[in-house]
Structure formats: structure tokens, C-alpha cells
């Protein structure tokens, strides 16, 4: 290298962290290889992604853990009281077994994507607490036992804590009928069905102090009551503006102080700050790519620092092409929240995540 080109390279490195990191990328390695000594790297998949050859190749190169995006949710897997639909979830679990990938089960109890039959009797009246808990028990026993030995961890209860300022638990039908007992019971049933499974409480917005504190109080209550909860899932539907490094560190330290393990369960970094902010960018500009790269770099730097408590990091969807954030929450708006673009190629933030 001439003196001039060396100087030019140095200058480029200073100007652009993206350019500097690109030097060290070994394209034969995938995310999971870079993170082998840290934690499994997972991805949420649909039955479609494991049938698509290009997506399958990407999944097998980069990920060693799968989460069924929708296939194990109550509505998908247990649409009617006496009917389970194993087809899609089994396809994902079989694919994982064939390729020696871990599977996180998602999820056993949630207020969304839950069929109405759980809550109502034949006359259309809300069922009693005993009946609802019995239905929950049947569901959890059947699903967890079906995947015993194949699914190593379960999101047992999803999003039970309220985001409203004056509310502790979300005012869902689960809560209206059972009070907080549905949470306690769900963990107990899951543990009885598979004592070896790692049991998670999973939620979003856990980096914001007010919500974080409520989740902390719930977890503490469960632990004090000797309920078998092992870990907390931070969904991590984040953006290029939040959380801050400080918020993330405080969150990890707060939950791990309870003796719980932590996983990042649904990671993506929206390029938009809110629903309809006129200041938001239009499309994936170089400046946005740079900002997203910095945010991903910050997050993975912290994840690596806390590798003793963080036992997994899972991305929510394979690439920008299949992200749930396209068209949501704003119809017609594309998003670019993941490490792979619509052609399944690594994006600038990928370089930051593997450059350490």
C-alpha cells in the first residue's frame, strides 16, 4: 500500500465507521459463528421462510435458533376447543431438528391472537375463572408435551403488564376473569408439562423506566411466590433512536438482579421514531443506514458485555422483505429494521454487529 492510499484509507475509516468495519468481514462466516462464544442467534420464521430456498440458505448460514413467528400462538395451534393444528409448527420444529437448530416456543398465553372460544361458553357468556384456568391448563399441557425435548424454552406469558400509566396489569379478558392468577398458573402448568424447559415472561417497552419497573415488580412477585420463572424476554422492537445505552444497561442490570436470565427475543430497529413523525426519513438513506449501524453496534456491544446473563438474541423476521413493520403501524410505509435487505444481502449494520 502506498503512503497516499494508506492515508486515504485512514481518512475513510475516520469519516465512516461503516467503511472501516467492512474490511474485516469474513463472508464464509455467519452471525452465529461470530457469536459462538456468546449466545445463540435466532430468527422468527414463518412456514413460508423454511420452504423458500434463498431464505433457507440465509437462515442456515446465520442463525442457530428459530422462533415460530405465529405458528404456535393459541389461535394458530388451537383454533377450536377440540382441535389442534400442528401442521405449521411441526414443519418448523422438524426443520430445526433436521438442521440441529434450537427452538424457542412462542407463546403459551397472550391477550392477542387468542381464539374467542377460550373465554366464552356455548351460550355466549364469559366463562368462570375455574373453567378458563382449566382451558389454559389443557392448552399448555398439550402444546408443551407435544414439543417436549424439541423446544428448549417457552415464552409462557406474553405482554401481561400494562403500558397505561395508571394500570399495573393489562385489562385483558385473562385478567378480567382470573385476576393475576392466570400468570402464576401458566408458569406452573408449563413447568409441570416439561420441567426442563426454560420459562420466560416476555414483553415490550421494558427499557422505559415506568414499564420496566412494573415488569420487575411482577417478576419479583412470581419469584417470591416460588413460581418457576427462569428468564425475562426483552422483545426489543426498538428504533434507531431508542433505547439509549444507559436505558439498556439499567434494564439488564435491574432484571438480572432478580437472578433471572435475559434474552432479546424479537429484535428489530425501525428507522422511524413514531407513528407519523414528519421529521422521519423517507426511505433507507445513507444517513439512516449510518444511524442504524451505530444503534445496532451499541446494542450488540452491550449484549456481549452481559453475555453471562444474556442467553440468546433473536431477530424478528429474516430480512427487511418479510418484516412485520412494513405497513405497520402506517399503511403503505416500508421499513428497513433488520440486518438483511430485500434481496437478502447484508446491510451496513451487519458489518457493525460482526466487527468486534
Closest approach, Cβ 305 to ligand GLA, in A, equals 25
Would you give the DSSP letter of residue 118? Answer: G
Distances (CA, A) of 107 to 51, 77, 244: 23, 10, 28
Cβ 260 vs Cβ 306: under 8 Å? no
Nearest to 139 by CA among 124, 154, 159, 128: 154
Closest approach, Cβ 10 to ligand GLA, in A, equals 43
Q: Out of 76, 146, 324, 344, point to the residue binding ligand GLA (CB under 6 A).
A: 324
Nearer to ligand GLA, 42 or 348 (CB): 42
Q: Out of 46, 49, 114, 158, point to the residue binding ligand GLA (CB under 6 A).
A: 158
Residue 55 sits in the site that holds ligand GLA (CB under 6 A): no
CA distance 242 to 187: 31
Nearer to ligand GLA, 335 or 352 (CB): 335
CA distance 216 to 29: 37
Closest approach, Cβ 324 to ligand GLA, in A, equals 4
Closest approach, Cβ 325 to ligand GLA, in A, equals 8
Nearer to ligand GLA, 251 or 352 (CB): 251
Residue 188 sits in the site that holds ligand GLA (CB under 6 A): no
Q: Is 69 an annotated catalytic residue?
A: no
The footprint of ligand GLA on residues 93-112 (CB under 6 A) is 106
Nearer to ligand GLA, 74 or 102 (CB): 74
Residues 55, 69, 207, 266: which is the catalytic one?
266
Residues 55, 69, 159, 207: which is the catalytic one?
159
Q: Where are the alpha helices (DSSP H) in the chain?
A: 3-15, 17-21, 31-34, 53-62, 74-77, 87-98, 129-146, 173-178, 181-193, 209-224, 245-256, 286-305, 348-354
Residue 235 sits in the site that holds ligand GLA (CB under 6 A): yes
Nearer to ligand GLA, 106 or 291 (CB): 106
Cβ 273 vs Cβ 280: under 8 Å? yes
| C-alpha cell read off for 312 | 440468546
Q: Is 159 an annotated catalytic residue?
A: yes
Nearer to ligand GLA, 337 or 348 (CB): 337
The footprint of ligand GLA on residues 250-279 (CB under 6 A) is 266
Q: Out of 204, 216, 255, 296, point to the residue binding ligand GLA (CB under 6 A).
A: 204
Q: What string of DSSP letters covers 228-272?
A: ---EEEE--EEESS-S-HHHHHHHHHHHHTTT-EEEEEEEEEES-
CA distance 334 to 271: 10
Closest approach, Cβ 328 to ligand GLA, in A, equals 8
| C-alpha cell read off for 345 | 444481502
Closest approach, Cβ 155 to ligand GLA, in A, equals 7
Residue 44 zone, left/alpha/beta (φ > 0; ψ -120 to 50; rest): beta
Give me the active site residues, please: 159, 266
**Positions in the binding site for ligand GLA (CB under 6 A):** 106, 158, 204, 235, 266, 324
Amino acid at each position: 500500500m502506498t503512503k497516499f492510499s494508506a492515508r486515504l484509507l485512514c481518512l475513510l475509516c475516520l469519516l465512516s465507521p461503516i467503511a472501516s468495519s467492512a474490511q474485516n468481514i469474513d463472508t464464509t462466516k455467519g452471525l452465529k459463528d461470530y457469536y459462538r462464544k456468546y449466545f445463540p442467534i435466532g430468527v422468527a420464521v414463518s412456514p413460508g421462510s423454511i420452504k423458500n430456498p434463498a431464505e433457507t440458505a440465509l437462515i442456515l448460514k446465520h442463525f442457530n435458533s428459530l422462533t415460530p413467528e405465529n405458528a404456535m400462538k393459541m389461535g394458530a395451534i388451537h383454533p377450536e376447543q377440540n382441535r389442534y393444528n400442528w401442521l405449521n409448527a411441526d414443519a418448523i420444529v422438524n426443520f430445526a431438528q433436521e438442521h440441529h437448530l434450537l427452538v424457542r416456543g412462542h407463546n403459551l398465553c397472550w391477550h392477542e391472537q387468542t381464539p374467542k372460544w377460550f373465554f366464552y361458553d356455548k351460550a355466549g357468556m364469559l366463562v368462570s375463572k375455574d373453567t378458563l384456568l382449566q382451558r389454559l391448563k389443557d392448552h399448555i399441557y398439550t402444546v408443551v408435551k407435544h414439543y417436549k425435548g424439541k423446544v428448549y424454552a417457552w415464552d409462557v406469558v406474553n405482554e401481561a403488564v400494562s403500558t397505561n400509566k395508571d394500570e399495573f396489569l393489562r385489562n385483558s379478558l385473562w385478567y378480567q376473569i382470573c385476576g393475576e392468577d392466570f400468570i402464576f398458573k401458566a408458569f406452573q402448568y408449563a413447568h409441570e408439562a416439561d420441567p426442563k424447559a426454560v420459562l420466560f415472561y416476555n414483553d415490550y417497552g421494558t427499557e422505559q423506566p415506568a414499564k420496566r419497573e412494573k415488569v420487575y415488580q411482577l417478576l419479583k412477585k412470581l419469584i417470591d411466590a416460588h413460581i418457576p420463572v427462569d428468564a425475562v424476554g426483552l422483545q426489543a422492537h426498538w428504533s434507531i433512536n431508542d433505547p439509549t445505552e444507559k436505558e439498556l444497561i439499567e434494564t439488564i442490570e435491574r432484571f438480572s438482579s432478580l437472578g433471572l436470565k435475559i434474552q432479546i427475543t424479537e429484535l428489530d430497529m425501525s428507522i422511524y421514531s413514531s407513528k407519523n413523525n414528519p421529521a422521519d426519513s423517507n426511505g433507507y438513506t445513507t444517513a439512516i443506514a449510518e444511524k442504524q449501524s451505530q444503534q445496532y453496534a451499541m446494542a450488540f456491544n452491550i449484549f456481549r458485555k452481559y453475555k453471562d446473563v444474556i442467553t440468546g438474541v433473536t431477530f424478528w423476521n429474516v430480512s427487511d422483505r418479510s418484516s412485520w413493520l412494513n405497513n405497520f403501524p402506517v399503511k403503505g410505509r416500508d421499513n428497513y429494521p433488520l440486518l438483511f435487505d430485500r434481496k437478502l444481502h447484508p446491510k451496513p449494520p451487519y458489518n457493525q454487529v460482526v466487527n468486534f
